A and B are shown apart, each in its own frame.
Chain A
Amino acid sequence: MKVLVPVKRVIDYNVKARVKADQTGVDLANVKMSMNPFDEIAVEEAVRLKEGKEHHAAGTASEIVAVSIGVTQAQETIRTALAMGADRGLLIQSDKDLEPLAVAKLLKAVVDEEKPDLVLMGKQSIDGDNNAVGQMLAALLGWPQATFAGKLVVADGKATVTREVDGGLQTLAVTLPAVVTVDLRLNTPRYASLPNIMKAKKKEIAVKAVADYGVDVADRLKVVKVTEPPKRSAGIKVADAAELVANLKTAGVL
Protein backbone atom coordinates (compact mmCIF):
# COMPACT_ATOMS: atom_id res chain seq x y z
CA MET A 1 0.00 0.00 0.00
CA LYS A 2 1.27 3.42 -0.95
CA VAL A 3 0.74 6.28 1.49
CA LEU A 4 0.86 9.97 0.62
CA VAL A 5 1.53 12.36 3.50
CA PRO A 6 1.07 16.11 2.88
CA VAL A 7 3.26 18.12 5.26
CA LYS A 8 3.15 21.86 5.81
CA ARG A 9 5.84 24.23 7.00
CA VAL A 10 4.37 26.47 9.69
CA ILE A 11 5.37 28.68 12.61
CA ASP A 12 6.77 26.52 15.42
CA TYR A 13 4.06 25.72 17.93
CA ASN A 14 6.11 27.20 20.78
CA VAL A 15 6.26 30.62 19.15
CA LYS A 16 3.56 33.19 19.89
CA ALA A 17 2.51 34.80 16.62
CA ARG A 18 2.77 38.59 16.46
CA VAL A 19 0.57 40.68 14.23
CA LYS A 20 2.39 43.14 11.95
CA ALA A 21 1.90 46.81 12.70
CA ASP A 22 0.49 47.46 9.21
CA GLN A 23 -2.19 44.78 9.79
CA THR A 24 -1.27 42.84 6.64
CA GLY A 25 -0.52 39.60 8.44
CA VAL A 26 1.62 37.89 11.03
CA ASP A 27 5.33 38.64 11.32
CA LEU A 28 7.23 35.53 10.26
CA ALA A 29 10.64 37.18 9.75
CA ASN A 30 13.28 35.38 11.87
CA VAL A 31 10.63 33.17 13.42
CA LYS A 32 11.34 29.49 14.00
CA MET A 33 9.43 27.36 11.49
CA SER A 34 8.69 23.63 11.83
CA MET A 35 6.55 20.87 10.44
CA ASN A 36 2.89 21.33 11.39
CA PRO A 37 2.58 19.19 14.56
CA PHE A 38 -0.39 17.22 13.23
CA ASP A 39 1.55 16.38 10.09
CA GLU A 40 4.37 14.93 12.20
CA ILE A 41 1.79 12.61 13.71
CA ALA A 42 0.62 11.63 10.20
CA VAL A 43 4.20 10.89 9.11
CA GLU A 44 4.80 8.85 12.27
CA GLU A 45 1.67 6.76 11.67
CA ALA A 46 2.67 6.15 8.04
CA VAL A 47 6.10 4.97 9.15
CA ARG A 48 4.52 2.70 11.76
CA LEU A 49 2.31 1.23 9.00
CA LYS A 50 5.47 0.41 7.12
CA GLU A 51 7.47 -0.90 10.06
CA GLY A 52 4.59 -2.85 11.57
CA LYS A 53 4.77 -1.00 14.88
CA GLU A 54 1.97 -1.15 17.50
CA HIS A 55 -1.06 -2.99 16.10
CA HIS A 56 -0.04 -2.58 12.44
CA ALA A 57 1.12 -5.61 10.42
CA ALA A 58 4.64 -5.10 9.06
CA GLY A 59 4.60 -3.87 5.49
CA THR A 60 1.05 -2.53 5.63
CA ALA A 61 2.58 0.47 3.93
CA SER A 62 5.12 -0.22 1.21
CA GLU A 63 6.02 3.30 0.18
CA ILE A 64 5.59 6.69 1.84
CA VAL A 65 5.68 9.88 -0.20
CA ALA A 66 5.83 13.23 1.62
CA VAL A 67 4.54 16.25 -0.29
CA SER A 68 4.65 19.89 0.64
CA ILE A 69 3.36 22.98 -1.10
CA GLY A 70 5.25 26.08 -0.14
CA VAL A 71 8.46 28.08 -0.27
CA THR A 72 11.87 26.55 -1.12
CA GLN A 73 12.58 26.09 2.61
CA ALA A 74 9.66 23.66 2.80
CA GLN A 75 12.26 21.17 1.53
CA GLU A 76 13.52 21.13 5.13
CA THR A 77 10.07 20.05 6.25
CA ILE A 78 10.09 17.27 3.65
CA ARG A 79 13.62 16.35 4.76
CA THR A 80 12.31 15.95 8.32
CA ALA A 81 9.63 13.55 7.04
CA LEU A 82 12.31 11.62 5.14
CA ALA A 83 14.45 11.41 8.27
CA MET A 84 11.46 10.01 10.18
CA GLY A 85 11.09 7.29 7.55
CA ALA A 86 9.28 8.57 4.45
CA ASP A 87 10.81 7.23 1.23
CA ARG A 88 10.77 10.22 -1.07
CA GLY A 89 9.54 13.76 -1.28
CA LEU A 90 7.82 16.20 -3.58
CA LEU A 91 7.88 19.97 -3.23
CA ILE A 92 5.42 22.06 -5.18
CA GLN A 93 7.04 25.41 -4.98
CA SER A 94 4.90 28.44 -4.23
CA ASP A 95 6.06 31.70 -2.76
CA LYS A 96 2.51 32.65 -2.07
CA ASP A 97 0.46 31.09 0.71
CA LEU A 98 -2.30 29.15 -1.01
CA GLU A 99 -5.83 28.75 0.31
CA PRO A 100 -7.10 25.29 1.35
CA LEU A 101 -9.15 24.94 -1.86
CA ALA A 102 -6.05 25.52 -4.00
CA VAL A 103 -3.95 23.19 -1.83
CA ALA A 104 -6.63 20.51 -2.14
CA LYS A 105 -6.71 20.89 -5.93
CA LEU A 106 -2.92 20.54 -6.17
CA LEU A 107 -2.97 17.53 -3.86
CA LYS A 108 -5.69 15.98 -6.01
CA ALA A 109 -3.41 16.37 -9.03
CA VAL A 110 -0.60 14.69 -7.07
CA VAL A 111 -2.93 11.84 -6.07
CA ASP A 112 -3.98 11.38 -9.70
CA GLU A 113 -0.29 10.94 -10.59
CA GLU A 114 0.92 8.95 -7.59
CA LYS A 115 -2.20 6.83 -7.05
CA PRO A 116 -1.76 6.23 -3.31
CA ASP A 117 -4.17 3.94 -1.43
CA LEU A 118 -4.22 6.22 1.58
CA VAL A 119 -3.64 9.91 2.16
CA LEU A 120 -2.69 10.45 5.78
CA MET A 121 -2.54 14.08 6.86
CA GLY A 122 -2.96 16.55 9.71
CA LYS A 123 -6.44 17.60 10.77
CA GLN A 124 -5.47 21.26 10.92
CA SER A 125 -2.57 23.57 10.26
CA ILE A 126 -1.74 25.62 13.32
CA ASP A 127 -1.25 28.85 11.35
CA GLY A 128 -4.52 29.23 9.43
CA ASP A 129 -6.45 26.91 11.76
CA ASN A 130 -8.67 26.02 8.79
CA ASN A 131 -9.19 22.30 9.36
CA ALA A 132 -10.28 21.94 5.74
CA VAL A 133 -7.76 20.52 3.26
CA GLY A 134 -8.25 16.82 4.03
CA GLN A 135 -12.02 16.98 3.77
CA MET A 136 -11.76 19.02 0.56
CA LEU A 137 -9.26 16.64 -0.99
CA ALA A 138 -11.55 13.69 -0.21
CA ALA A 139 -14.48 15.52 -1.84
CA LEU A 140 -12.52 16.38 -4.99
CA LEU A 141 -11.36 12.76 -5.31
CA GLY A 142 -14.80 11.32 -4.51
CA TRP A 143 -13.10 9.30 -1.75
CA PRO A 144 -14.43 8.66 1.73
CA GLN A 145 -12.86 10.52 4.65
CA ALA A 146 -12.20 9.79 8.28
CA THR A 147 -11.19 12.92 10.16
CA PHE A 148 -9.69 13.48 13.64
CA ALA A 149 -8.28 9.98 13.93
CA GLY A 150 -7.21 8.87 17.41
CA LYS A 151 -6.75 5.26 16.29
CA LEU A 152 -6.20 3.74 12.86
CA VAL A 153 -6.41 0.09 11.80
CA VAL A 154 -5.75 -0.81 8.15
CA ALA A 155 -6.79 -4.26 6.89
CA ASP A 156 -8.73 -5.91 4.07
CA GLY A 157 -8.98 -2.82 1.90
CA LYS A 158 -10.48 -0.79 4.72
CA ALA A 159 -9.35 1.75 7.27
CA THR A 160 -11.14 1.53 10.59
CA VAL A 161 -10.76 4.83 12.35
CA THR A 162 -11.69 5.89 15.85
CA ARG A 163 -12.46 9.59 15.66
CA GLU A 164 -12.21 12.15 18.44
CA VAL A 165 -15.57 13.93 18.33
CA ASP A 166 -17.28 16.43 20.62
CA GLY A 167 -19.23 13.90 22.65
CA GLY A 168 -16.53 11.23 22.90
CA LEU A 169 -15.34 8.73 20.29
CA GLN A 170 -16.86 7.50 17.04
CA THR A 171 -15.54 4.56 15.02
CA LEU A 172 -16.00 4.42 11.23
CA ALA A 173 -14.82 2.02 8.55
CA VAL A 174 -13.94 3.58 5.20
CA THR A 175 -13.06 1.70 2.03
CA LEU A 176 -9.65 2.45 0.54
CA PRO A 177 -8.56 4.61 -1.15
CA ALA A 178 -9.44 7.15 1.51
CA VAL A 179 -8.27 10.33 3.23
CA VAL A 180 -7.58 10.09 6.96
CA THR A 181 -6.80 13.21 9.00
CA VAL A 182 -5.08 12.72 12.33
CA ASP A 183 -5.61 14.11 15.80
CA LEU A 184 -3.10 14.62 18.60
CA ARG A 185 -3.54 11.36 20.45
CA LEU A 186 -2.95 9.00 17.51
CA ASN A 187 0.72 8.63 18.43
CA THR A 188 3.79 10.44 19.71
CA PRO A 189 6.10 11.24 16.81
CA ARG A 190 9.69 10.06 17.02
CA TYR A 191 12.78 12.21 16.89
CA ALA A 192 14.81 11.28 13.85
CA SER A 193 18.09 9.60 14.77
CA LEU A 194 21.37 10.97 13.46
CA PRO A 195 21.94 8.01 11.08
CA ASN A 196 18.44 8.47 9.72
CA ILE A 197 19.01 12.19 9.24
CA MET A 198 22.16 11.30 7.27
CA LYS A 199 20.26 8.71 5.22
CA ALA A 200 17.51 11.20 4.49
CA LYS A 201 20.02 13.48 2.79
CA LYS A 202 20.34 10.88 0.03
CA LYS A 203 16.61 10.46 -0.50
CA GLU A 204 15.07 12.11 -3.51
CA ILE A 205 12.99 15.29 -3.37
CA ALA A 206 11.37 16.19 -6.69
CA VAL A 207 10.70 19.90 -7.13
CA LYS A 208 7.82 21.14 -9.24
CA ALA A 209 6.08 24.43 -9.83
CA VAL A 210 2.42 25.14 -9.19
CA ALA A 211 2.07 25.89 -12.91
CA ASP A 212 3.11 22.29 -13.74
CA TYR A 213 -0.25 21.09 -12.50
CA GLY A 214 -2.51 23.42 -14.47
CA VAL A 215 -5.03 23.87 -11.71
CA ASP A 216 -6.80 27.08 -10.70
CA VAL A 217 -5.17 28.29 -7.50
CA ALA A 218 -6.61 31.80 -7.47
CA ASP A 219 -7.56 33.19 -4.06
CA ARG A 220 -11.23 33.29 -3.26
CA LEU A 221 -10.79 35.14 0.00
CA LYS A 222 -9.26 38.58 0.28
CA VAL A 223 -7.53 39.21 3.58
CA VAL A 224 -8.80 42.68 4.40
CA LYS A 225 -6.74 42.95 7.58
CA VAL A 226 -5.14 41.00 10.36
CA THR A 227 -5.48 42.50 13.82
CA GLU A 228 -4.56 41.70 17.37
CA PRO A 229 -7.28 40.19 19.49
CA PRO A 230 -8.51 42.28 22.40
CA LYS A 231 -5.87 42.07 25.12
CA ARG A 232 -6.68 40.58 28.47
CA SER A 233 -4.81 42.23 31.22
CA ALA A 234 -3.61 40.35 34.24
CA GLY A 235 -5.90 40.93 37.17
CA ILE A 236 -5.03 40.64 40.82
CA LYS A 237 -3.51 37.98 43.02
CA VAL A 238 -5.71 37.02 45.92
CA ALA A 239 -4.26 35.79 49.20
CA ASP A 240 -6.60 32.90 49.87
CA ALA A 241 -9.78 31.08 48.95
CA ALA A 242 -11.99 33.32 51.09
CA GLU A 243 -10.75 36.43 49.29
CA LEU A 244 -11.30 34.69 45.95
CA VAL A 245 -14.90 33.80 46.78
CA ALA A 246 -15.60 37.33 48.03
CA ASN A 247 -14.29 38.76 44.75
CA LEU A 248 -16.29 36.34 42.62
CA LYS A 249 -19.44 37.24 44.53
CA THR A 250 -18.79 40.96 43.98
CA ALA A 251 -18.22 40.26 40.28
CA GLY A 252 -21.60 38.55 40.18
CA VAL A 253 -20.44 35.17 38.87
CA LEU A 254 -21.25 33.19 42.02
Chain B
Amino acid sequence: MAVLVIADHDGSSVRDTTHKTVTAALALSSDVDVLVLGSKAAADAAAKIAGVRKVLFADGADLGHGLAEAVEATVVPLAAGYDAVLSPATTDGKNFMPRIAAKLDVAPISDIIEVLSSDSFVRPIYAGNALETVQSSDAKKVITVRPTAFAAAAEGGSAPVESVASADTDKATFVSEEMVKSDRPELGAAKIVVSGGRAMGSAEEFHAVIEPLADKLGAAVGASRAAVDAGYAPNDYQVGQTGKVVAPALYIAVGISGAIQHLAGMKDSKIIVAINKDADAPIFQVADYGLVGDYKTVVPELMAALG
Protein backbone atom coordinates (compact mmCIF):
# COMPACT_ATOMS: atom_id res chain seq x y z
CA MET B 1 0.00 0.00 0.00
CA ALA B 2 1.32 3.46 -0.89
CA VAL B 3 0.10 6.84 0.35
CA LEU B 4 0.33 10.28 -1.23
CA VAL B 5 0.34 13.33 1.05
CA ILE B 6 -0.44 16.68 -0.52
CA ALA B 7 1.72 19.21 1.32
CA ASP B 8 0.64 22.47 2.91
CA HIS B 9 3.32 25.11 2.42
CA ASP B 10 3.90 28.85 2.46
CA GLY B 11 5.80 29.14 -0.81
CA SER B 12 9.22 28.50 0.69
CA SER B 13 8.86 25.93 3.47
CA VAL B 14 6.36 23.24 4.40
CA ARG B 15 4.07 23.99 7.32
CA ASP B 16 4.04 21.63 10.28
CA THR B 17 0.51 20.59 9.24
CA THR B 18 2.34 18.63 6.53
CA HIS B 19 4.59 16.90 9.08
CA LYS B 20 1.51 15.94 11.09
CA THR B 21 -0.25 14.57 8.02
CA VAL B 22 2.86 12.51 7.21
CA THR B 23 2.53 10.96 10.67
CA ALA B 24 -1.07 9.98 9.88
CA ALA B 25 0.09 8.60 6.51
CA LEU B 26 2.84 6.55 8.15
CA ALA B 27 0.16 4.93 10.32
CA LEU B 28 -1.30 3.59 7.05
CA SER B 29 1.83 2.58 5.21
CA SER B 30 5.59 2.95 5.23
CA ASP B 31 5.50 3.99 1.55
CA VAL B 32 4.66 7.66 1.88
CA ASP B 33 5.28 10.16 -0.93
CA VAL B 34 4.66 13.89 -0.61
CA LEU B 35 3.30 16.04 -3.44
CA VAL B 36 4.25 19.71 -3.38
CA LEU B 37 2.28 22.06 -5.61
CA GLY B 38 3.83 25.20 -7.04
CA SER B 39 7.00 25.70 -4.97
CA LYS B 40 10.34 24.03 -5.62
CA ALA B 41 11.76 25.42 -2.37
CA ALA B 42 8.92 23.82 -0.43
CA ALA B 43 9.50 20.55 -2.32
CA ASP B 44 13.13 20.59 -1.22
CA ALA B 45 12.00 21.27 2.35
CA ALA B 46 9.51 18.37 2.21
CA ALA B 47 12.36 16.04 1.20
CA LYS B 48 13.82 16.51 4.68
CA ILE B 49 10.79 15.09 6.51
CA ALA B 50 11.77 11.78 8.08
CA GLY B 51 9.98 8.74 6.69
CA VAL B 52 9.15 10.23 3.28
CA ARG B 53 9.98 7.91 0.35
CA LYS B 54 10.02 10.56 -2.36
CA VAL B 55 8.75 14.02 -3.10
CA LEU B 56 6.75 14.82 -6.21
CA PHE B 57 6.87 18.39 -7.42
CA ALA B 58 4.24 19.85 -9.76
CA ASP B 59 4.82 23.40 -10.89
CA GLY B 60 2.38 26.06 -12.09
CA ALA B 61 0.83 29.32 -11.02
CA ASP B 62 -2.70 27.89 -10.68
CA LEU B 63 -1.34 25.12 -8.46
CA GLY B 64 0.59 27.64 -6.40
CA HIS B 65 -2.68 29.45 -5.72
CA GLY B 66 -4.35 26.17 -4.83
CA LEU B 67 -7.03 26.43 -7.53
CA ALA B 68 -9.09 23.29 -6.97
CA GLU B 69 -9.70 22.61 -10.68
CA ALA B 70 -5.95 22.56 -11.39
CA VAL B 71 -5.15 20.52 -8.28
CA GLU B 72 -7.82 17.98 -9.22
CA ALA B 73 -6.48 17.63 -12.78
CA THR B 74 -2.94 17.20 -11.45
CA VAL B 75 -3.69 14.76 -8.64
CA VAL B 76 -6.30 12.48 -10.23
CA PRO B 77 -3.84 10.88 -12.72
CA LEU B 78 -1.23 10.49 -9.94
CA ALA B 79 -3.79 8.84 -7.64
CA ALA B 80 -3.69 5.73 -9.84
CA GLY B 81 -0.43 4.81 -8.15
CA TYR B 82 -1.69 5.19 -4.56
CA ASP B 83 -4.11 3.50 -2.20
CA ALA B 84 -4.74 6.66 -0.22
CA VAL B 85 -4.40 10.41 -0.75
CA LEU B 86 -4.12 12.56 2.38
CA SER B 87 -3.95 16.26 2.99
CA PRO B 88 -4.19 18.37 6.13
CA ALA B 89 -7.69 19.73 6.82
CA THR B 90 -6.65 23.29 6.04
CA THR B 91 -8.88 25.53 3.95
CA ASP B 92 -6.84 24.42 0.90
CA GLY B 93 -7.22 20.73 1.69
CA LYS B 94 -10.92 21.13 2.44
CA ASN B 95 -11.28 22.93 -0.88
CA PHE B 96 -9.66 20.45 -3.26
CA MET B 97 -9.83 17.03 -1.56
CA PRO B 98 -13.61 16.41 -1.95
CA ARG B 99 -13.24 17.49 -5.58
CA ILE B 100 -10.52 14.88 -6.10
CA ALA B 101 -12.63 12.27 -4.28
CA ALA B 102 -15.67 12.89 -6.50
CA LYS B 103 -13.54 12.51 -9.65
CA LEU B 104 -12.28 9.20 -8.29
CA ASP B 105 -15.82 8.16 -7.28
CA VAL B 106 -14.72 7.83 -3.68
CA ALA B 107 -16.38 8.99 -0.43
CA PRO B 108 -14.04 11.54 1.13
CA ILE B 109 -13.31 11.16 4.83
CA SER B 110 -13.03 14.61 6.41
CA ASP B 111 -10.97 15.75 9.34
CA ILE B 112 -9.82 12.44 10.84
CA ILE B 113 -8.33 12.46 14.34
CA GLU B 114 -7.24 8.82 14.49
CA VAL B 115 -6.18 6.03 12.14
CA LEU B 116 -7.47 2.69 13.46
CA SER B 117 -6.49 0.49 10.51
CA SER B 118 -5.99 0.79 6.75
CA ASP B 119 -9.73 1.37 6.29
CA SER B 120 -11.05 2.64 9.64
CA PHE B 121 -10.83 6.15 10.98
CA VAL B 122 -12.24 8.35 13.74
CA ARG B 123 -13.61 11.81 13.01
CA PRO B 124 -15.54 14.38 15.03
CA ILE B 125 -19.11 15.23 13.98
CA TYR B 126 -21.74 17.61 15.41
CA ALA B 127 -19.14 20.24 16.34
CA GLY B 128 -17.08 17.66 18.16
CA ASN B 129 -19.97 16.56 20.39
CA ALA B 130 -19.69 13.07 18.94
CA LEU B 131 -16.91 10.96 17.48
CA GLU B 132 -17.70 8.75 14.53
CA THR B 133 -15.74 5.63 13.65
CA VAL B 134 -16.11 4.91 9.94
CA GLN B 135 -14.93 2.01 7.83
CA SER B 136 -14.45 2.74 4.16
CA SER B 137 -15.32 0.22 1.46
CA ASP B 138 -13.67 2.29 -1.28
CA ALA B 139 -10.54 0.79 -2.81
CA LYS B 140 -8.90 4.21 -2.65
CA LYS B 141 -9.18 6.55 0.32
CA VAL B 142 -9.29 10.33 0.12
CA ILE B 143 -8.76 11.79 3.58
CA THR B 144 -8.22 15.13 5.25
CA VAL B 145 -6.35 15.03 8.54
CA ARG B 146 -6.93 17.28 11.55
CA PRO B 147 -3.34 18.33 12.25
CA THR B 148 -3.80 18.99 15.97
CA ALA B 149 -4.60 15.30 16.50
CA PHE B 150 -1.23 14.01 15.26
CA ALA B 151 2.37 14.56 16.32
CA ALA B 152 4.67 16.13 13.74
CA ALA B 153 6.99 13.81 11.81
CA ALA B 154 10.61 14.68 12.54
CA GLU B 155 13.10 16.32 10.21
CA GLY B 156 16.12 14.33 9.09
CA GLY B 157 15.02 12.67 5.84
CA SER B 158 16.65 13.03 2.45
CA ALA B 159 14.06 11.89 -0.08
CA PRO B 160 14.61 12.39 -3.82
CA VAL B 161 12.55 15.12 -5.51
CA GLU B 162 10.95 14.25 -8.84
CA SER B 163 9.01 16.55 -11.16
CA VAL B 164 5.57 15.42 -12.30
CA ALA B 165 3.15 16.73 -14.92
CA SER B 166 0.97 19.59 -13.79
CA ALA B 167 -2.34 20.93 -15.01
CA ASP B 168 -3.93 24.37 -14.95
CA THR B 169 -7.48 25.64 -15.44
CA ASP B 170 -9.23 28.18 -17.65
CA LYS B 171 -12.43 28.19 -15.60
CA ALA B 172 -11.03 29.85 -12.50
CA THR B 173 -8.61 32.73 -12.22
CA PHE B 174 -6.70 33.97 -9.24
CA VAL B 175 -7.46 37.67 -8.72
CA SER B 176 -5.78 38.73 -5.49
CA GLU B 177 -5.08 37.84 -1.91
CA GLU B 178 -4.82 39.68 1.38
CA MET B 179 -2.84 37.58 3.77
CA VAL B 180 -2.57 38.74 7.35
CA LYS B 181 1.09 39.28 8.22
CA SER B 182 2.18 38.71 11.76
CA ASP B 183 5.36 38.00 13.69
CA ARG B 184 3.39 35.93 16.16
CA PRO B 185 3.36 32.13 16.01
CA GLU B 186 0.80 30.53 13.71
CA LEU B 187 -2.53 29.88 15.42
CA GLY B 188 -2.63 26.18 14.57
CA ALA B 189 0.91 25.50 15.72
CA ALA B 190 1.32 27.82 18.75
CA LYS B 191 2.02 26.44 22.24
CA ILE B 192 -0.05 29.21 23.80
CA VAL B 193 -3.14 30.90 22.35
CA VAL B 194 -4.85 33.98 23.76
CA SER B 195 -8.35 34.55 22.35
CA GLY B 196 -10.69 37.48 22.76
CA GLY B 197 -14.46 37.55 22.43
CA ARG B 198 -17.34 39.91 21.99
CA ALA B 199 -16.62 41.43 25.39
CA MET B 200 -13.77 43.44 23.81
CA GLY B 201 -16.34 45.74 22.26
CA SER B 202 -14.04 47.25 19.61
CA ALA B 203 -11.01 46.53 17.44
CA GLU B 204 -9.02 49.09 19.44
CA GLU B 205 -9.80 47.30 22.67
CA PHE B 206 -8.91 43.94 21.09
CA HIS B 207 -5.50 45.36 20.08
CA ALA B 208 -4.98 47.00 23.45
CA VAL B 209 -5.94 44.03 25.63
CA ILE B 210 -5.47 40.73 23.78
CA GLU B 211 -2.35 41.43 21.74
CA PRO B 212 -0.03 42.66 24.55
CA LEU B 213 -1.01 39.65 26.66
CA ALA B 214 -0.29 37.33 23.72
CA ASP B 215 3.04 39.04 23.07
CA LYS B 216 4.07 38.76 26.70
CA LEU B 217 3.40 35.01 26.52
CA GLY B 218 4.82 34.50 23.01
CA ALA B 219 1.33 33.35 22.08
CA ALA B 220 -0.79 33.32 18.93
CA VAL B 221 -3.96 35.40 18.90
CA GLY B 222 -7.39 33.86 18.37
CA ALA B 223 -10.95 35.14 18.51
CA SER B 224 -14.54 34.01 18.78
CA ARG B 225 -16.80 34.33 15.80
CA ALA B 226 -18.64 37.16 17.50
CA ALA B 227 -15.39 39.13 17.76
CA VAL B 228 -14.53 38.42 14.12
CA ASP B 229 -18.03 39.25 12.89
CA ALA B 230 -17.97 42.54 14.72
CA GLY B 231 -14.68 43.38 13.01
CA TYR B 232 -12.54 43.33 16.17
CA ALA B 233 -10.23 40.71 14.64
CA PRO B 234 -9.52 39.36 11.13
CA ASN B 235 -11.40 36.29 9.88
CA ASP B 236 -8.41 33.98 10.05
CA TYR B 237 -8.30 34.40 13.86
CA GLN B 238 -11.59 32.54 14.29
CA VAL B 239 -11.37 29.46 16.48
CA GLY B 240 -14.18 26.94 16.33
CA GLN B 241 -16.33 24.47 14.43
CA THR B 242 -16.12 26.54 11.29
CA GLY B 243 -12.87 28.32 11.95
CA LYS B 244 -9.55 26.93 13.09
CA VAL B 245 -9.07 24.02 15.42
CA VAL B 246 -6.30 24.56 17.95
CA ALA B 247 -4.90 22.37 20.70
CA PRO B 248 -2.13 24.34 22.40
CA ALA B 249 -0.60 23.57 25.78
CA LEU B 250 -2.36 26.66 27.12
CA TYR B 251 -5.52 28.38 25.82
CA ILE B 252 -6.66 31.60 27.46
CA ALA B 253 -10.20 32.74 26.62
CA VAL B 254 -10.93 36.35 27.51
CA GLY B 255 -14.55 37.51 27.41
CA ILE B 256 -15.75 34.45 25.48
CA SER B 257 -18.95 32.73 26.62
CA GLY B 258 -18.08 29.21 25.42
CA ALA B 259 -20.70 28.43 22.76
CA ILE B 260 -20.68 24.84 21.43
CA GLN B 261 -19.21 26.10 18.16
CA HIS B 262 -16.32 27.84 19.90
CA LEU B 263 -15.58 24.86 22.19
CA ALA B 264 -15.34 22.65 19.09
CA GLY B 265 -12.20 24.50 18.13
CA MET B 266 -10.31 24.55 21.43
CA LYS B 267 -11.52 21.92 23.86
CA ASP B 268 -8.59 19.62 23.12
CA SER B 269 -6.18 22.22 24.49
CA LYS B 270 -4.09 20.85 27.35
CA ILE B 271 -4.93 23.61 29.81
CA ILE B 272 -7.80 26.05 29.40
CA VAL B 273 -8.05 29.32 31.27
CA ALA B 274 -11.24 31.40 31.15
CA ILE B 275 -11.59 35.00 32.17
CA ASN B 276 -15.23 36.05 32.22
CA LYS B 277 -17.32 38.29 34.43
CA ASP B 278 -20.27 35.89 34.36
CA ALA B 279 -19.62 33.04 36.81
CA ASP B 280 -22.21 30.94 34.96
CA ALA B 281 -20.66 31.27 31.50
CA PRO B 282 -20.44 27.81 29.86
CA ILE B 283 -16.72 28.30 29.18
CA PHE B 284 -16.12 27.61 32.89
CA GLN B 285 -17.43 24.06 32.39
CA VAL B 286 -14.36 23.22 30.33
CA ALA B 287 -11.83 25.54 31.96
CA ASP B 288 -9.10 24.13 34.17
CA TYR B 289 -8.66 27.54 35.76
CA GLY B 290 -11.50 30.03 35.84
CA LEU B 291 -11.16 33.62 36.88
CA VAL B 292 -14.46 35.40 37.41
CA GLY B 293 -14.04 39.10 36.87
CA ASP B 294 -13.97 42.04 34.52
CA TYR B 295 -11.17 41.56 32.01
CA LYS B 296 -10.47 45.29 32.28
CA THR B 297 -9.03 44.73 35.74
CA VAL B 298 -8.04 41.05 35.45
CA VAL B 299 -5.88 41.32 32.32
CA PRO B 300 -3.70 44.17 33.63
CA GLU B 301 -3.27 42.23 36.88
CA LEU B 302 -2.31 39.17 34.88
CA MET B 303 0.22 41.20 32.87
CA ALA B 304 1.73 42.39 36.14
CA ALA B 305 1.78 38.92 37.71
CA LEU B 306 3.60 37.58 34.64
CA GLY B 307 6.31 40.15 35.35
Contacts and interface: CB of A to CB of B under 8 A. Distances in A.
B136 A248 contact: no
B16 to A, nearest CB: 13
- Which interface class (under 10, 10 to 19, 20 to 34, 35 or more) fits A? 35 or more
B101 A16 contact: no
B178 A169 contact: yes
Contacts of B107: 99-101, 219-221
Contacts of B260: 13, 16
B131 interface: yes
B127 A245 contact: no
A244 B298 CA distance: 11
Contact of A238 (B124, B285, B291): B291
A175 B170 CA distance: 9
A236 interface: yes
A200 to B, nearest CB: 28
Contacts of A26: 125-126, 129-130
Contact of B136 (A175, A221, A228, A229): A221
- Which interface class (under 10, 10 to 19, 20 to 34, 35 or more) fits B? 35 or more
15 contacts: A101-B102, A127-B125, A131-B111, A139-B101, A148-B95, A167-B179, A171-B176, A235-B288, A236-B288, A236-B290, A237-B284, A241-B298, A242-B301, A253-B270, A254-B217
Contacts of B215: none
Closest 7 CB pairs of A and B: A235-B288, A220-B107, A136-B102, A17-B126, A139-B102, A144-B171, A132-B98
Interface stretch (B38-46, B79-87, B155-163, B233-241): B233-241
Contacts of B124: 129, 229
Given A129-B124, A234-B285, A235-B290, A184 B108 contact: no
A127 to B, nearest CB: 6
A253 B130 contact: no
Contact of B68 (A130, A145, A171): A145
